[in-house]
Amino acid sequence: MKRRWYFGLLMVMIFVLGTMDTGRSAEGLFKDYDAVVIQNLNVPTGSPAPESSGLQMAEKAVYQLSRYSKKYKLFDMVVKEGSKEVPAGKKVLAIKGEVTEYTRESVGRRIGRSFIPGGEFTGTAAFAAHYQFIDQASGKVIYETDLRTGATGRNDTVEYAMDRNGEALAKLITKYKGK
């Protein structure tokens, strides 16, 4: 009887440990790169997002990534495509993306959320983009992800949601850089 109990316990432990996601597989995904070049995001035709939102998001991403890069010493250079030339010999990570959601703030939704306890602190504006991380030398896509961020409380604007999206991108790169 004790053998069955120990065998059952062993099987449960193997199952639990086998299904755990340790998150170590992606660590250091971007660790070899010295510079980052961010391209303007593509805005699909028919999207509610204005054409300028791709350029605006790229600038916000450069700003946030420069902040994180300076703080955590991630990269030697963080530039927007076409603004500066990256010196030869540096391994470059290119980031390009596409706007997938652009939701403006809505007074009606804000009023509706005010009836929910704590709902007045939620925002109604949102921004989402699909990002691709590309090794510039080989042109190979290393990683792809979707990031969606919303505005909060009094900062209920799409611009604020875009700022948060740029910061989420910087945090993701910091995580995968191994810092």
- What pLDDT digit, counting tens, does each position of 100-158 carry? 999 998 776 666 766 777 666 677 899 999 999 999 999 999 999 999 999 887 788 89
Domains of the chain: 27-99+129-144+161-177 (3.40.50)
> Average of pLDDT values for 44-68?
96
For tokens 């949601």, the residue is 161
| Nearest-angstrom CA–CA distance, 22 and 67 | 28
Go through 81-118 and write b for each residue having 16 or more CB atoms within 10 A of its CB, e for each that does not: eeeeebeeeeebbbbbbbbbbbbebeeebbeebeeeee
Q: What is the pLDDT of residue 119?
A: 62
pLDDT at 22: 52
